[in-house]
């Protein structure tokens, strides 16, 4: 009798996911994502089907990071790795080849329709026309509001054909690191042998033996998630790739992407209205916000550090101080991922307001709501710092 009852209970438990309409977990791709903002976008697309895993925690700098065993295990078990690309995390390329050689990869900076911007050079940022280019290097047109002519509707899931996004080129055997175009992302000097992930301590920001003057900062700025229009494009690309790997849930992925794109359109309008009320000159800790600035019509006057947050030398610090005096800078932004002591030291006695701006969501809980909270938090930081007395 007990054996019969146990067998009956087991049968009921086995059938429970079918009764609830939930997909079998074994059929859902295991997805690893590099940074928290992109993880939030992937989580939106996978809602109701599964949940992606995050590789780099929000409080860490993606420019240089040492994988913990649990994070290495995430890569090792992944069917799909979604990352911004080697321009943001050059140290991740070797672990991908070593730990996830058979996983499909989606490099979001290479997606068609993404608005790409180049790194800005020097301490003082010259005025820009925000002439940007897409992933193929073509110029992207803009309307009167500085928005390129790629609307959310233009990038809906249905129009993201697999061939258009190079899915055929993203086969598991074709994702060798060399094909991700390090030269296009300004990391020519970062050979694989110099970037074993175990050597990337947090304090050196992933430079290893590369001196401050040797690091190449030309090429494409990888912080493209800070433009919500780019994020909308990525939602469609992510849905396409998930649908390719998991066709049974393709309709859910497409619906989730479409709903999330509508949310981003509303988010963009909300932030644009808030940013349009602000005025003043500001400096950022490192040049990570060009996409946000270009989308919402604000311009940093300069940056304390370079785009990868390498510590500035004495000459750069002196030039920043001159910039504050010359252009009546009223605000400087520190970041939670880096030591604020440097900002305090540079701006001590200047009377400049010091705010905190977070491009990664260091204090936010990873998940579907993180991206919107991150972008709203950035707008709030601008409002607070530029309007402070």
SS3 string, the chain, reads: CHHHHHHHHHHHHHHHHHHHCCCCHHHCCCEEECCHHHHHHHHHHHCCCCCCEECCCCCCCCCCCCCCHHHHHHHHCCCEEEECCCCCCHHHHHHHHHHCCCCEEEEHHHCCCCCECECCCCCECCCCCCCEECCCCCEECECCCCCECCCCHHHCHHHCCCCCCCHHHHCHHHCCHHHHCHHHHCCCCCCHHHHCHHHCCHHHCCCCCCCHHHCCCCCECCCHHHCHHHHHHHHHHHHHHHHHHCHHHHHHHHHHHHHHHHHHHHHHHHHHHHHCCCCCCEEEEECCCHHHHHHHCCCCCEEEECCCCCCCCHHHHHHHHHHHHHHCCCEEEECCCCCCHHHHHHHCCCCCEEEECCCCCCCCCCCCCHHHHHHHHHHHHHHHHHHCC
CA of residue 286 relative to chain centroid, distance: 15
Residues above pLDDT 90, as percent of the chain: 51
**Predicted pLDDT at 196:** 37
What is the average per-residue pLDDT within 147-173?
A: 41
Token pair for residue 340? Answer: 């604020």
* Cα separation, 159 vs 313, whole angstroms: 48
pLDDT in tens, 266-281: 999 999 999 998 988 8
Of 69-73, 108-112, 246-250, 282-286, the poorest mean pLDDT is in 282-286
pTM exceeds 0.85 for this model: no
Domain extent listing, the chain = 24-272, 278-387
Residue 290: partners with Cβ closer than 8 Å, 6 or more residues away: 117, 120, 221, 223, 300
**Predicted pLDDT at 11:** 45
**Predicted pLDDT at 300:** 93
**Predicted pLDDT at 337:** 76
Query: What confidence tier does 341 reach under pLDDT thresholds 50, 70, 90?
Result: confident
Domain 24-272: give its CATH superfamily: Nitrogenase molybdenum iron protein domain (3.40.50.1980)
Domain 278-387: give its CATH superfamily: Nitrogenase molybdenum iron protein domain (3.40.50.1980)
**Predicted pLDDT at 27:** 83
What is the average per-residue pLDDT within 315-336?
A: 88
Query: What confidence tier does 306 reach under pLDDT thresholds 50, 70, 90?
Result: low
pLDDT in tens, 219-244: 899 999 999 999 999 999 999 999 99
Q: Do domains 24-272 and 278-387 have the same CATH topology?
A: yes
* Cα separation, 140 vs 147, whole angstroms: 9
**Predicted pLDDT at 195:** 35
Asked whether the predicted pLDDT for residue 142 surpasses 60, the reply is no
What is the average per-residue pLDDT within 189-211?
A: 35
**Predicted pLDDT at 114:** 98
């Amino acid at each position: 009798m007990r054996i019969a009852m146990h067998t009956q209970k087991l049968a009921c438990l086995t059938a429970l996911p079918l009764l609830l309409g939930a997909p079998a977990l074994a059929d859902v791709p295991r997805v690893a994502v590099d940074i928290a903002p992109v993880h939030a976008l992937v989580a939106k697309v996978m809602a109701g089907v599964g949940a992606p895993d995050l590789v780099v925690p929000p409080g860490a700098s993606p420019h240089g990071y040492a994988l913990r065993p649990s994070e290495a295990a995430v890569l090792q078990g992944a069917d799909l790795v979604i990352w911004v690309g080697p321009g943001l995390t050059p140290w991740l390329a070797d672990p991908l080849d070593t730990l996830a050689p058979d996983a499909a990869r989606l490099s979001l900076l290479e997606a068609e329709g993404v608005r790409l911007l180049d790194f800005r050079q020097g301490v003082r940022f010259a005025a820009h026309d925000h002439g940007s280019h897409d992933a193929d290097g073509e110029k992207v047109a803009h309307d009167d509001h500085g928005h390129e002519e790629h609307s959310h509707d233009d990038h809906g899931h249905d129009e993201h054909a697999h061939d258009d996004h190079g899915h055929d080129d993203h086969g598991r055997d074709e994702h060798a690191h060399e094909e991700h175009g390090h030269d296009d992302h300004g990391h020519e000097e970062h050979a694989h042998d110099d970037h074993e992930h175990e050597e990337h301590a947090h304090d050196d920001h992933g430079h290893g033996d590369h001196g401050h003057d040797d690091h190449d900062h030309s090429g494409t700025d990888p912080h493209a998630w800070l433009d919500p229009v780019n994020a909308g494009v990525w939602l469609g690309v992510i849905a396409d790739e998930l649908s390719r790997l998991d066709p049974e849930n393709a309709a859910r992925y497409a619906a989730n992407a479409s709903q999330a794109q509508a949310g981003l359109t509303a988010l963009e309008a909300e932030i644009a209205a808030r940013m349009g009320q602000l005025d003043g000159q500001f400096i950022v800790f490192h040049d990570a916000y060009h996409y946000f600035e270009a989308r919402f019509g604000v311009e940093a006057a300069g940056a304390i550090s370079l785009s990868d947050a390498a510590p500035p030398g004495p000459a750069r610090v002196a030039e920043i101080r001159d910039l504050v005096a010359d252009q009546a800078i009223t605000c400087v932004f520190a970041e939670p991922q880096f030591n604020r002591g440097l900002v305090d030291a540079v701006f001590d006695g200047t009377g400049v307001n010091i705010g905190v701006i977070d491009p990664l969501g260091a204090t936010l809980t990873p998940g579907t709501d993180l991206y919107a909270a991150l972008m709203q938090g950035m707008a709030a930081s601008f409002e607070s710092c530029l309007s402070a007395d």
